Structure 1
Amino acid sequence: MPKARVLEREGVRRPASVPRLAWLIGPALVAGVAYLDPGNVASNMTAGARFGYLLVWVVVLGNVMAWLIQYLSAKLGVVTGESLPEVLGRRLRNRWGRRAYWLQAELVAMATDIAEVIGGAVALNLLFGLPLLWGGAITGAVSISLLLVQSRAGAQPFEFVVIGLVAIIAVGFTFGVFVAPPDPAGIVAGLVPRFEGTDSVLLAASILGATIMPHAIYAHSALARDRFAQETGITTSRLLRATRWDVTIAMLIAGTVNLCILLLAAANLDGVPGTDSLEGAYAALRDGIGPTVAVLFAVGLLASGLASTSVGAYAGAEIMHGLLHVRIPLVWRRLVTLVPALAILAVGFDPTVALVLSQVVLSFGIPFALVPLVALTARPELLGRFRNRAITTAAGIAASIFLIVLNGLLLWLVFTGA
């Protein structure tokens, strides 16, 4: 553990000359891109189009849980100076156990890559009529450019680029709600937890998988580590205070955008044939509300795919480095993980179905990241006086149990045909 972190844990304060709080904000906004990826768009649009306001409560609950989870991830990186995969890599002594854990984490990261490349391909097809395969290749090429910014220019320039894309995403996905507002009574009714059959449970798991993304948990601890490693003149307490603001801003943006996507679909696409796909939703928005809303929606989807795919590649590389102690260039990893996404596009598999199913895969990977995160951040020998309070650990355990039970219910419904 870095010496500066150890001194702060023991109560020794470092120099008081510090940058303003605003300059410490950024890692959560980058990690928060994971909550605005094309998988989120597909899951929330499908939920709104098929079930109206029914699953509003899932989006809200998922965002609340995401705040806690992302803060714990960032706290681990700030206090220990290590990412979650690095900490687990040290503590998992059994070589085969560590490899098995790496394999499931890497598969989750690959599912993320698939969703993001497919989303970018669909957006380019909607905007310019490009074939999906070519759109996927272009999305991958642009994501490689973004990764080069991170690897050559450092954390902050990468943050600025991603935050700019987040602004485009926010405008693209929220504009339609102001043009065609949702029903307030429907929103209130949607806050009551309930399901309507197997498909609604599947979509709920998909929304949670898209909202609480395992690779974002791994990535945020690494982003906080990289961003704050150079801030040797700032106390850990101040860094954590800045982190809470960072996570709050990021989750407010992500939660608002995700909710707007679902509300836009619920208010304008509920019951409209063919709107359970991104292409159908785009056409319905264009015909029902106007071309401006539809174009902005497609632009937001494109920015979503470009931004989130670079963060996904960053997470995958960190997972491999932390657990297997192998570091490969981000660009090479991006090239390798492009293959499954391009293969899906090449065989003509329905892109919206692929996006939704990828989010279900992510949902099943959540406990493997969340349970160790809650356990590790509660350990005094690891985080010292910054370990979780009892109520924080209890909230983390409750979130873990909820997600595991939901996934179990999903399996039971799917395999029993209930």
Structure 2
Amino acid sequence: MNDPARMPLSLSPDIGRLIKDRCMKPEGSKPGLIKQLGPGLITGAADDDPSGIATYSQAGAQFGFGLLWTLVLTYPLMTAVQLVSARIGRVTDAGLASNMVKIMPRWIVTGLVMMLFVANTINIGADLAAMGAAAQLVLGAGDHIFTAIFAIVSLLLQVFVPYHRYAGILKWMTLVLLAYVALVFMVKVDWAAVGWGMVWPTVAGTTAITTVVAIFGTTISPYLFFWQSSQEVEEVDRDDAKHALNDAPGEARGEFSRINFDTFSGMAVSNLVALAIMIGTAATLHAAGKTDIATAADAASALKPVAGQFAFLLFSLGIIGTGLLAIPVLAGSTAYAIGEARGWKIGLENKLFEARGFYSVIAVSTLLGIGIDWSPIDPIKALFWSAVINGVVAVPIMAVMMIVVSRRSIMGDYTATLRLRFFGWAATAVMGAAAVAMVVM
């Protein structure tokens, strides 16, 4: 075990050293800093989807800076879970559902991923509705039309653009999240109150508890587990120089270093953007007494008279951009999960006729999302039930993930370290408590 190629994955890498190493790489050697970012960055950015924006906006508008501590708490927990997901995919060259069926009956795994399908489809519908509403706010009309356009564009990109190109598109789309960081510097912020809110937990009343549960459920979501694990597999399958680490231990050190850097960075982006949204809405909407925020579009609309036209435009365009990033991740994670559970041929690098079942799931999820937007179903109530399903499904999935990553029969010499297992099980316990609280309330 002293072989450096078999060094275990740590939860606390020297990020500064990693950045320095990558930035100083000479031409022709290992990929540079930007190329090291991939599945982890896209996963983290997709976590800040329009539904997540709505949750963080509600928290900021209703409770000011009082719930900022939740995002400090979730960072190490969500990072641990995503590290586990990435590790499973990279070591075994198989997605999360493929590994789950090794320790659970296939019918149970299929049941879990079908619940994921329901939750993700509802989430897609809510995100599309928010994107259409944001477009209507900016342009004055056409919310349903824009919803359909956004959905169809996303679907066509997934079906007809090869993964190695599409992954690059998604990576650059993460830059849209800078809109929310910019918002913080456009408004007056009490930074002393921000610092206090980040370190001192305050929860008063049932509404605050419900919001805390919603933040946990929004930040640590099952679709992210399946997506990042499967994207690691895609990275291996498209690169002839990469192999399952169980078969190629010489690649382990470099790949674990990349996964660390990518995942820590991606989850940091996710939580920093969420903090920016919460801080921005707290400094503007909460300060102005505008606490009745139900959707991301409501937050954008309320910002206009409080923070000005430019802040309103930034927030609105951010909703559309994050939606275009999140929709393919939601639909794609469902397709990976169902395809792996059923043993289908899967992967965005495949052509349509090569993986019909896989692409059919993506199409059905996206089209049903359009249907939800055009139906009389209340997207806010639908999103609530989506959160309930996600909260319930996340716990057994996370528990199985922790068992898989600890099994030498599956992971070989690359089982999770004690530290990673501690934080992974801690995240599972927190999500279990959140699920119980959600059901009780």
Correspondence for 2:331: 313
Q: Is the CA contact (8 Å cut-off) linking 1:48 and 1:265 kept in structure 2?
A: yes
Q: Is the CA contact (8 Å cut-off) linking 1:77 and 1:84 kept in structure 2?
A: yes
Deviation at 1:278, TM superposition (A): 2.9
Q: Is the CA contact (8 Å cut-off) linking 1:132 and 1:345 kept in structure 2?
A: no
**Alignment partner of 2:138 out of 127, 138, 144:** 127
Structure 2 letter corresponding to 1:184 = W
Deviation at 1:263, TM superposition (A): 0.7
Structure 1 letter corresponding to 2:334 = G
Gaps of 5+ in 1: 1-7, 12-16
Task: Quote the Cα distance in structure 2 between the aligned partners of 1:273 and 1:353.
Answer: 19
Matches within 5 A, 1:333-372: 333-352=361-380, 354-355=382-383, 357-372=385-400
Q: Is the CA contact (8 Å cut-off) linking 1:24 and 1:239 kept in structure 2?
A: no
User: Cα deviations across residues 352-379 of structure 1 (Å, max 9, x unaligned)?
Assistant: 5544553443233221321111111111
Q: Is the CA contact (8 Å cut-off) linking 1:172 and 1:298 kept in structure 2?
A: no
Task: Quote the Cα distance in structure 2 between the aligned partners of 1:404 and 1:144.
Answer: 34
- Between 221-230 and 296-305, report the one with greater CA deviation: 221-230
Question: Residues 231 and 36 of structure 1: is their aligned pair in 2 closer, same or farther, counting only changes over 3 Å?
Answer: farther
Task: Quote the Cα distance in structure 2 between the aligned partners of 1:247 and 1:95.
Answer: 29
User: Could you tell me the percent identity over the aligned residues?
Assistant: 21
Structure 1 letter corresponding to 2:225 = I
**Alignment partner of 1:34 out of 40, 43, 46:** 46
Deviation at 1:336, TM superposition (A): 1.6
Q: Is the CA contact (8 Å cut-off) linking 1:34 and 1:308 kept in structure 2?
A: yes
- Between 226-235 and 386-395, report the one with greater CA deviation: 226-235
Deviation at 1:73, TM superposition (A): 0.6
Correspondence for 2:408: 380
Deviation at 1:196, TM superposition (A): 1.9
* 1:401 paired to 2:429: yes
Local SS of the residue matching 1:179 = coil
User: Cα deviations across residues 149-193 of structure 1 (Å, max 9, x unaligned)?
Assistant: 5xx4223x212211221101x222222110114222322332322
Task: Quote the Cα distance in structure 1 between the aligned partners of 2:299 and 2:433.
Answer: 31
* 1:205 paired to 2:233: no
- Between 29-38 and 269-278, report the one with greater CA deviation: 269-278
Matches within 5 A, 1:144-159: 144-148=155-159, 152-155=161-164, 157-159=165-167
Correspondence for 2:89: 77
**Alignment partner of 2:313 out of 278, 286, 295:** 295
TM-score (norm 1): 0.87
Q: Is the CA contact (8 Å cut-off) linking 1:33 and 1:311 kept in structure 2?
A: no
Deviation at 1:120, TM superposition (A): 1.8
- Between 389-398 and 210-219, report the one with greater CA deviation: 389-398
Deviation at 1:68, TM superposition (A): 1.0
* 1:240 paired to 2:240: no
Correspondence for 2:360: 332
- Between 335-344 and 29-38, report the one with greater CA deviation: 335-344
Deviation at 1:318, TM superposition (A): 0.6
Deviation at 1:27, TM superposition (A): 1.4
Task: Quote the Cα distance in structure 2 between the aligned partners of 1:193 and 1:363.
Answer: 22
Local SS of the residue matching 1:386 = coil
Task: Quote the Cα distance in structure 2 between the aligned partners of 1:281 and 1:394.
Answer: 37
* 1:112 paired to 2:155: no
Local SS of the residue matching 1:91 = coil
Task: Quote the Cα distance in structure 1 between the aligned partners of 2:357 and 2:404.
Answer: 28
Task: Quote the Cα distance in structure 2 between the aligned partners of 1:196 and 1:340.
Answer: 38
Local SS of the residue matching 2:101 = helix
* 1:222 paired to 2:211: no
Correspondence for 2:191: 184
TM-score (norm 2): 0.83
User: Cα deviations across residues 308-351 of structure 1 (Å, max 9, x unaligned)?
Assistant: 10111111111111112235455533332234433433345554
Gaps of 5+ in 2: 9-27, 243-249, 346-355
User: Cα deviations across residues 179-217 of structure 1 (Å, max 9, x unaligned)?
Assistant: 114222322332322322222222222212221110110
Task: Quote the Cα distance in structure 1 between the aligned partners of 2:411 and 2:358.
Answer: 29
Q: Is the CA contact (8 Å cut-off) linking 1:173 and 1:260 kept in structure 2?
A: yes
Task: Quote the Cα distance in structure 1 between the aligned partners of 2:61 and 2:277.
Answer: 10
Task: Quote the Cα distance in structure 1 between the aligned partners of 2:168 and 2:259.
Answer: 17
Structure 2 letter corresponding to 1:101 = L
Task: Quote the Cα distance in structure 1 between the aligned partners of 2:207 and 2:67.
Answer: 11
Correspondence for 2:349: none
After superposing on structure 2, the runs of 4+ consecutive aligned residues of structure 1 that deviate more than 6 Å are 8-11
**Alignment partner of 2:65 out of 34, 42, 53:** 53
Deviation at 1:273, TM superposition (A): 5.3
Structure 2 letter corresponding to 1:73 = S
User: Cα deviations across residues 103-152 of structure 1 (Å, max 9, x unaligned)?
Assistant: 22322332332333223222222222334322321121111132135xx4
**Alignment partner of 2:201 out of 193, 215, 224:** 193
Q: Is the CA contact (8 Å cut-off) linking 1:117 and 1:305 kept in structure 2?
A: yes
